Structure 1
Amino acid sequence: MTEHTLTVAGVAVDTRHWIGGRRVASAETFTDVSPIDGSVIGEISRGTALEAAAAVAAAKAAFPAWAATSRAERARILHAVADGVEKRIEELSIVETTDNGALLRSHRRGVMPRVAHNFRFFADWLLKLEHEDFETRGHTNHVSWDPAGPSVLITPWNAPLMLATWKVAPALAAGNTVVLKPAEWSPLTASLLADIAAEAGLPAGVLNVVQGYGSEVGDALTSHPDLRRISFTGSVPTARRIAESAAGNLTPLSLELGGKSPLLVFADADLDLAVDLAVEQYDNAGQVCLAATRFLVEESVAEEFTRRFVEKAATLTQGDPRHETTDIGPNIHPRQLEKIDAFVQRALAAGARAVIGGHRKDTQYYAPTLLTDVAQDSEIVQEEVFGPVLTLQTFSTEEEAVRLANDTRFGLAATLATADAERAERVTAQLVAGTVWVNCFFVRDLQAPFGGSRHSGVGREGGTWSFDFYCDVKNTVTAPNGWKNHG
């Protein structure tokens, strides 16, 4: 071990940046704290404009060779990265849980296998990426996807490695080089990813990892003139700053932002299913952008729905996320907990009623909360809390349900519970959302477009949509009979 290596639950993690195929330390550090118990994990290299410039320079230098690498070879390396992830699922899982507080069982069974799948999917999609040629007045049109160039990917803390590789995998598959900037509250698995990628044979400079604060290293990255793409997942205020930073260079952006998604429960729905869907919204301590945090329930079944929900929620176990029986872990940081509680206390002061919860349990954990008697224009209904806080409102008609569902500035997702197929078709057609789930939740396929409407984001990723963003899509038009015979 060296002064730049942490041991996290028995796993060695390098605390330095990864730039140009080597480890680079900063003069300053920042403190990484575990949300499980508030203990200090260690000191992490704190990037500045200097490291940002070095990372972009490394990505720019590596780009021509990586862009010229055949699709088959790029795909082979991405599959090798997936192999490396699968060999280290247990290590990645325990480090991620220690760093961001999400359930260890979820990391082992779902999240880390999905990380490997991200690489395999985009490697395979690359090999079949094509558009059928078509003719215009006898001329042949041929569509191709050219690598765009160095890309900066800025990722959140709620699902650090899974959401990072959701961006890294298609960007690398497209032939771009990458600078990954993980969230400062959960930087550790990005460092491990750099090790895995290097072991898999990814050339130096193709993937770079720079840690630190957005105001110090993030701004220097997003304003860099040599960038060709920026992808960000996070909050609306941060997205605005990134967009302003990128505007001077007209750098294309993909923004996956927050949500205030509704769960619409109609009287004809299977109430047991609806309650199961509702309780699922406490997943990851409510720190899920797609969560249906606003319950809109038809008046005639609202009382019964609420009774069953309270009974079901009471069976959840909140505590140490490393324990197999835990259902809800901690929130990421004391500052986030304070923000959550401030939302709730303001709502209660304004007349809301806490059916369950409504308070913090200690400095790391917030009690699962359901608030009723909330006005549609209230802060708690309109703004993203990003914690285990849900609201319940009622409606009397289908039209009212749709109006309430659409009446926020967001449009990331919506969930609908009904036994009427025709109603489902009518309502989903009217909902403003990038993804709508009918009688299910969080069923995701990488082939599908993903993104939000309104303030929930700009652009779509997944399948070919990802390549459309990370590439310069070119159309080549060839005239007929234009070739000289040199035979």
Structure 2
Amino acid sequence: MSEHRTTVAGVAVDTRHWIGGQRVASPRTFTDASPIDGAPVGEISRGTATEARAAVAAAKAVFPGWAATPRAERARLLHAVADGVEKRTEELANVETVDNGALLRSHRRGVMPRVAHNFRFFADWLLTLEHEDFATRGHTNHVTWDPAGPCVLITPWNAPLMLATWKVAPALAAGNTVVLKPAEWSPLTASLLADIAAEAGLPAGVLNVVQGYGSEVGDALTSHPDVRRISFTGSVPTAQHIAASAAANLTPLSLELGGKSPLLVFADADLDLAVDLAVEQYDNAGQVCLAATRLLVEEAVAEEFTRRFVAKASRLRQGDPREESTDIGPTIHPRQVAKIDGFVRRALAAGARAVIGGHPGEGQYYAPTLLTDVRQDSEIVQEEVFGPVLTLQTFTSEDEAVHLANDTRFGLAATLATGDPERAERVTARLVAGTVWVNCFFVRDLKAPFGGSRHSGIGREGGTWSFDFYCDLKNTVTAPKGWKDHG
């Protein structure tokens, strides 16, 4: 590692901020370590209010020019960014695997292609964004989506680049300028994105990247009076803090927060499919906000379901995420390992039983865990663990299944396994969730609304919903008379 630069998996990564088209260093740094082995991978510039103000000022200064850029040109530049992502897919995949511990094969085949798709989708959607004019007593109503201004985007560590670009792409497409604050536990691919955007020709100051801790740089960003939109993905407590910070300026918020999602398995379900869906919840070491961590299984098939689940889960291989045969990688940080283990230990002390797992492994690896004999009002059922820990409860009726599914403060997602389409229709209509999957999981289309109910968030993103948030909607009403003759 040299000053302001580190090499990760053979890729050079600048460790400074990206502000106004320039690399900017901070006097202090923080250490970024790989969850694979705990080894340091870089000393990252540690932003403060100084860098936050500079980034917002840069975004504000170039906003009028970017907002006035024709839609077709904005779309062309976003496609150029997507081209750059595709050219560097292998580099991005390798860096992010080292930085956050998710599977390399997933980054190569799914995550990084999705990053490029995020830019292409919103670039193309921008060109079709329109509302049909309509008449009111002979007057014409014309709806437009006007760029709002500088946006602060605060992103999590579990899918750093994909979730960042899920916000960056529509914000830029809408004609806004952006200050991106990546999670301090996985900042590296955000820095590479700044390079890619600059190489694609994105004007200086349109995209800015500021690194650091929330308490030191995040507060300065979210409380800044020149910020017009804030989008955050992360925990409920942090969202509450951000909302309080933004309140003085009435800055609109989009919040995608925690989940405690259920997987309902009815006796008429394809049991092998249901087991596959359940084991899939260990993806990314359980560090997925949408994960269906509460398995709710009809009592008549619970014993057989559990037997098949244990057989399949026991075949999962946990280890180095860079190896093709690995199914589950490490947990992001030692603090997260301790948090997960605390949840499990308290649950076991309260009477839960570990069918599999129930303990950490070596380093930052936590054994895939399934807990039974848990109470509905217990911490392990009610609170988000964000690790490879599932609970299993049984039900005897449709009403009981729905009650258990809805009986938390969250409402991000739900998954349903049933062989009866009429039951599927009845149950999904009663579930409190932003997304419901029936006999499938994690099928997502950018045209669909995405977000959570209750404490799982505020607002929806995707398709036109993204532009509704990142824009000021305007309705222009024109009278049929009053024009002077200019002939």
**Would the aligned equivalents of 1:337 and 1:363 in 2 still touch at CA under 8 Å?**
no
1:225 corresponding residue in structure 2: 225
**3-state SS, counterpart of residue 193 of structure 2:** helix
2:206 corresponding residue in structure 1: 206
Deviations 1:13-55 (A, max 9, x none): 0000000000000000000000000101121000000000000
2:471 corresponding residue in structure 1: 471
Shift of residue 363, structure 1, vs aligned partner? 2.6
**Would the aligned equivalents of 1:78 and 1:169 in 2 still touch at CA under 8 Å?**
yes
RMSD over aligned Cα atoms: 0.6
Q: Is 2:193 the partner of 1:193?
A: yes
2:241 corresponding residue in structure 1: 241
1:51 and 1:16 map into 2 onto residues whose CA distance is: 11
Shift of residue 482, structure 1, vs aligned partner? 2.7
1:358 corresponding residue in structure 2: 358
2:264 corresponding residue in structure 1: 264
Shift of residue 91, structure 1, vs aligned partner? 0.2
2:151 and 2:450 map into 1 onto residues whose CA distance is: 19
2:60 corresponding residue in structure 1: 60
**3-state SS, counterpart of residue 276 of structure 2:** helix
**Would the aligned equivalents of 1:318 and 1:329 in 2 still touch at CA under 8 Å?**
yes
1:118 and 1:111 map into 2 onto residues whose CA distance is: 10
2:382 and 2:177 map into 1 onto residues whose CA distance is: 38
Question: How many residues are paired up?
Answer: 487
2:274 corresponding residue in structure 1: 274
**3-state SS, counterpart of residue 394 of structure 2:** strand
1:296 and 1:104 map into 2 onto residues whose CA distance is: 31
1:40 corresponding residue in structure 2: 40
Q: Unaligned regions of 5+ residues in structure 2, if any?
A: none
1:447 corresponding residue in structure 2: 447
1:10 and 1:204 map into 2 onto residues whose CA distance is: 27
Alignment-mate amino acid for residue 83 of structure 2: D
1:148 corresponding residue in structure 2: 148
2:408 corresponding residue in structure 1: 408
2:2 and 2:372 map into 1 onto residues whose CA distance is: 53
TM-score (norm 1): 1.00
Deviations 1:95-136 (A, max 9, x none): 000000000000000000000000000000000000111111
2:459 corresponding residue in structure 1: 459
**3-state SS, counterpart of residue 414 of structure 2:** strand
Alignment-mate amino acid for residue 216 of structure 2: E
Deviations 1:284-328 (A, max 9, x none): 000000000000000000000000000000111000000000000
Alignment-mate amino acid for residue 422 of structure 1: E
2:482 and 2:418 map into 1 onto residues whose CA distance is: 60
2:136 and 2:469 map into 1 onto residues whose CA distance is: 26
Shift of residue 172, structure 1, vs aligned partner? 0.1
2:334 corresponding residue in structure 1: 334
Instruction: Out of 474-483 and 376-385, give the one that drifted further.
Output: 474-483
**Would the aligned equivalents of 1:348 and 1:354 in 2 still touch at CA under 8 Å?**
yes
**3-state SS, counterpart of residue 308 of structure 2:** helix
2:389 and 2:286 map into 1 onto residues whose CA distance is: 7
2:63 and 2:2 map into 1 onto residues whose CA distance is: 32
Taking the TM superposition and a 5 Å limit, the aligned residue runs for 1:51-450 are 51-450=51-450
2:24 and 2:62 map into 1 onto residues whose CA distance is: 17
Q: Unaligned regions of 5+ residues in structure 1, if any?
A: none
**Would the aligned equivalents of 1:150 and 1:177 in 2 still touch at CA under 8 Å?**
yes
Alignment-mate amino acid for residue 332 of structure 1: I
Alignment-mate amino acid for residue 183 of structure 1: A
1:259 and 1:4 map into 2 onto residues whose CA distance is: 37
**3-state SS, counterpart of residue 224 of structure 2:** coil
**Would the aligned equivalents of 1:146 and 1:473 in 2 still touch at CA under 8 Å?**
yes
2:253 and 2:420 map into 1 onto residues whose CA distance is: 39
Alignment-mate amino acid for residue 383 of structure 2: E
Shift of residue 483, structure 1, vs aligned partner? 1.4
**3-state SS, counterpart of residue 267 of structure 2:** coil
2:333 and 2:377 map into 1 onto residues whose CA distance is: 28
Shift of residue 137, structure 1, vs aligned partner? 1.2
2:2 and 2:315 map into 1 onto residues whose CA distance is: 45
2:56 and 2:298 map into 1 onto residues whose CA distance is: 53
**3-state SS, counterpart of residue 341 of structure 2:** helix
1:314 and 1:446 map into 2 onto residues whose CA distance is: 34
1:45 and 1:2 map into 2 onto residues whose CA distance is: 13
1:403 and 1:314 map into 2 onto residues whose CA distance is: 31
Shift of residue 481, structure 1, vs aligned partner? 2.5
**3-state SS, counterpart of residue 354 of structure 1:** strand
**3-state SS, counterpart of residue 179 of structure 1:** strand
Deviations 1:197-238 (A, max 9, x none): 000000000000000000000000000000000000000000
**3-state SS, counterpart of residue 308 of structure 1:** helix
**3-state SS, counterpart of residue 232 of structure 1:** strand
Alignment-mate amino acid for residue 294 of structure 1: R
Shift of residue 2, structure 1, vs aligned partner? 5.1
**3-state SS, counterpart of residue 410 of structure 2:** coil
Deviations 1:377-397 (A, max 9, x none): 000000000000000000000
Deviations 1:136-166 (A, max 9, x none): 1111111000000000000000000000000
**Would the aligned equivalents of 1:194 and 1:207 in 2 still touch at CA under 8 Å?**
yes
TM-score (norm 2): 1.00
